[in-house]
């Protein structure tokens, strides 16, 4: 051969060498655990399409939150499942609503040991299941929805959320919420924009987890799966409106978007490994078709490699425990 043979395999010879030369490593503090709290439950209720995930009572929510924090998880993202829904999603900004009740309990229990986050959206609270309120023609009314988001943001901040996850994909939602928080003396509250959120089949199991009432789809506000450049556009708008962190969602099917976004912005970029991503691995593993633990870790590593500095994942507590055990 007329050239020196390169031997990259030299660096793969031992576990110690591999560790010392690894470009990407998982870290419990970069994981966020999504949790569901349901009104009127007597005991935790399993979510059929997400084995290992439950809808919590308020006490079991607090217990799960404390366990996850003890395992080293960096954040907790709370979703509420109300007993009663209406057209305007009244439960979302009701201080006694199930999500705000759960936030208060968790914030008090974990303090600053992890970041307590709230999903800021209306879909769990509306009887039609959309992320916003509807106009007379039955379309999602962008600007009327912003009014509901403002009020919900104040209620969630008052309940103890230190970060709000704006997942509704309304135009102008970040700016609207930032403005009202600042005006009410809550400029401390961090805004996470679900900036590039695609209309995805991978949210299917989540709709079970929140007993979703939706019959149609969300294609008039969530993004078309084929649109890569538009992901950058949505992110640019959210950053301009004051987003502190931007997110790409789902994760694994959108690693190209994640990589683009991480290269384009100077705010932190997170990813959401969604319910369907979780369910796929769990289902394959339950059939003995895949090595569960390796698949879980590899998927999370890939998301981080593509550019996420933190990831929301239903495996957060388990993976944190695994990583600490080494």
Q: Which residues are catalytic?
A: 197, 249
Q: Does 36 bind ligand PBG (CB under 6 A)?
A: no
Query: 193, 199, 217, 214: which is closest to 124 by C-alpha?
Result: 214
Regarding 316 and contact with ligand PBG (CB under 6 A), the answer is: no
Query: What is the closest distance, in whole angstroms, from the C-beta atom of residue 183 to ligand PBG in the complex?
Result: 25
Binding mask 174-203 for ligand PBG (x = CB under 6 A): -----------------------------x
Residue 163 touching ligand PBG (CB under 6 A)? no
Which is closer to ligand PBG, CB of 189 or CB of 278? 278
Tell me if 141 contacts ligand PBG by CB under 6 A.
Answer: no
Residue placing its CB nearer to ligand PBG in the complex, 114 or 131: 131
User: Does the protein bind ligand PBG through residue 245 (CB under 6 A)?
Assistant: no
Residue 167 contacts ligand PBG per CB under 6 A: yes
Binding to ligand PBG by residue 173, rule CB under 6 A? Answer: no
Distance of CA 280 to the CA centre of its chain: 18
Rule CB under 6 A: is residue 304 a binding residue for ligand PBG?
A: no
In DSSP notation, 131-146 reads SS-B-TTS-B-HHHHH
Per CB under 6 A, 241 contacts ligand PBG: no
Number of residues engaging ligand PBG in binding (CB under 6 A): 10
Task: With CA atoms as reference, report the closest residue to 100 among 61, 71, 126.
Answer: 61
Minimum distance from CB of 218 to ligand PBG (Å)? 6
- Tokens linked to 224: 């078309």
For the stretch 155-174, what's the b/e string if a residue is b when 16 or more beta carbons lie within 10 angstroms of its beta carbon?
Answer: bbbebbbbbbbbbbbbebbb
Which CB sits closer to ligand PBG, 227 or 264? Answer: 227
Spatial neighbors of 262 by CB under 8 A, at least 6 apart, are 269, 306, 307, 308
* 206 lines the binding site for ligand PBG (CB under 6 A): yes
d(CA 60, CA 79): 14
Residue 78 binding ligand PBG, by CB under 6 A: no
| Omega cis (within 30) before 95 | no
Binding segment (CB under 6 A) for ligand PBG, from list 102-110, 115-123, 255-263, 302-310: 115-123
Residue among 305, 298, 275 nearest 48 (CA)? 275
DSSP 214: -
Candidates 275, 304, 311, 313; binder of ligand PBG (CB under 6 A) is: 275
Ramachandran class of 141: left when φ > 0, alpha when ψ lies in -120 to 50, beta otherwise? beta
DSSP designation for 41: -
Asked if 119 touches ligand PBG (CB under 6 A), the answer is: yes
Contacting residues toward ligand PBG, per CB under 6 A: 119, 121, 123, 131, 167, 203, 206, 218, 274-275
């Amino acid at each position: 051969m007329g050239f020196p043979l390169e031997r990259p395999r030299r660096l793969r010879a031992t576990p110690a060498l591999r560790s010392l030369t690894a470009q990407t490593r998982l870290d419990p503090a970069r994981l966020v655990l999504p949790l569901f709290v349901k009104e009127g439950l007597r005991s935790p209720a399993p979510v059929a399409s997400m084995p290992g995930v439950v809808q919590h009572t308020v006490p079991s929510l607090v217990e799960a939150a404390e366990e996850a924090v003890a395992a080293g998880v960096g954040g907790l993202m709370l979703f509420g499942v109300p007993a009663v829904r209406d057209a305007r999603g009244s439960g979302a900004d009701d201080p006694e609503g199930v999500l705000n009740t759960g936030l208060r309990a968790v914030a008090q229990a974990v303090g600053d040991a992890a970041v307590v986050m709230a999903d800021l959206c209306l879909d769990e609270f509306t009887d039609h299941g959309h992320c916003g309120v509807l106009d007379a023609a039955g379309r999602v009314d962008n600007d009327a929805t912003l009014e509901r988001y403002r009020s919900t943001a104040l209620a969630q901040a008052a309940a103890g959320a230190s970060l709000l996850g704006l997942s509704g994909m309304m135009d102008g939602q970040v700016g609207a919420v930032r403005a009202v928080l600042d005006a009410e003396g809550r400029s401390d509250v961090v805004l996470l924009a679900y900036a590039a959120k695609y209309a995805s089949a991978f949210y299917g199991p989540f709709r079970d987890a929140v007993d979703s009432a939706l019959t149609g789809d969300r294609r008039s506000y969530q993004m078309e799966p084929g649109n890569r450049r538009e992901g950058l556009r949505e992110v640019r708008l959210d950053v301009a409106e004051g987003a502190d962190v931007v997110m790409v969602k789902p994760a694994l099917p959108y690693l190209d978007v994640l990589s683009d976004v991480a290269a384009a912005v100077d705010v932190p970029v997170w990813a959401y490994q969604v319910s369907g991503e979780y369910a796929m691995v769990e289902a394959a593993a339950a059939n003995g078709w895949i090595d569960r633990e390796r698949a879980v870790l590899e998927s999370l590593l890939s998301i981080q490699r593509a550019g996420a500095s933190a990831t929301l994942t239903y495996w957060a507590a388990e993976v944190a425990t695994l990583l600490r055990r080494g």
